[in-house]
Amino acid sequence: MEILDFVLPGHLLDQYKDDDENFKVNSVIEYVISIFFEAHSALILFEEHNANLRMRTKEDFFAEREFEQNYIIKNSEKYKHLSAYDSVEIKAIDAKRAYYKTGKVPFSLETVKGIMYAKSFLFSLDNLIKVLESLKKLPYDSPDELQNIIHDFYLLFPGLIPLRNSLHHVEDRIHRKAWKKDIIPKELRNSLISAAANTVISIADMNNNKLCGTAANGDFIEIEISFESLIKVQGLLQRLIDSYKWKGFPYLKP
């Protein structure tokens, strides 16, 4: 994957007459950049994970079945005292545990890793917009471009906050509630789910490279976890950096 970067026009902000104000705003901008690289790292892990999943084949499945069968045959004496009915499940459990002890990772855990990386990406974007909003509220004059950047961020990711809310309030979503009101999920037709209205609540699912879930208003929200999404955020943050006055030598991050 290509590594995205930022060009800082100087090593220190020169926006304000007061050095302390420059330092404080400079620190916030540095923090914004660090959050971006958290999202970048999450995306790298997400794409590496997906590539590894695609490499898992039918041979992997058959290798697991063969190991389990051989384990049961080799340890047959261990199960002689059990009834035929009881031994079936116990043999299967023991064989699976023995297989995982060889270092193999269950497919279900691999799938969870993908959702974990996708959530990390989304939460980084959420933190970004929170910090940009906070930057605007600091008691110093900010460039007019900052408000434009915040506006454009929400246009790029209109479902970010609703999906974030659902992921953070699973205790309400499992009861089909949002702010103590019932959620009425809307009709859903996509490659992942096909459901009539008021039937399915999605809390955190993956639809290819999209993290998705049901929002408080019943909409099904999808956020694309992709390089294309990240490069759009990079463009916004470079605009942020360029909207301030700097002094000193330019340099590259990372």
Residue 133 lies in a domain: yes
List the pLDDT tens digit at each of the 254 positions of the chain. 799 999 999 999 999 999 999 999 999 999 999 999 999 999 999 999 998 888 877 778 788 889 999 999 999 888 888 887 778 889 999 999 999 999 988 877 888 999 999 999 999 999 999 999 999 999 999 999 999 999 999 999 999 999 999 999 999 999 999 988 999 998 888 777 888 888 889 989 999 999 999 999 999 999 999 999 999 999 999 999 999 999 999 999 99
Residue 150 lies in a domain: yes
Residue 1 lies in a domain: no
Residue 162 lies in a domain: yes
Domain residues for the domain of 96 are 6-253
Q: How many domains does the chain have?
A: 1
Which candidate, 187, 184, 227, 195, places its Cα nearest to that of 209?
Answer: 227
**CB neighbour burial string for 41-73, b if at least 16 within 10 angstroms, e if fewer:** ebbebbbebbeeeeeeeeeeeeebeebbeebbe
Residue 20 lies in a domain: yes
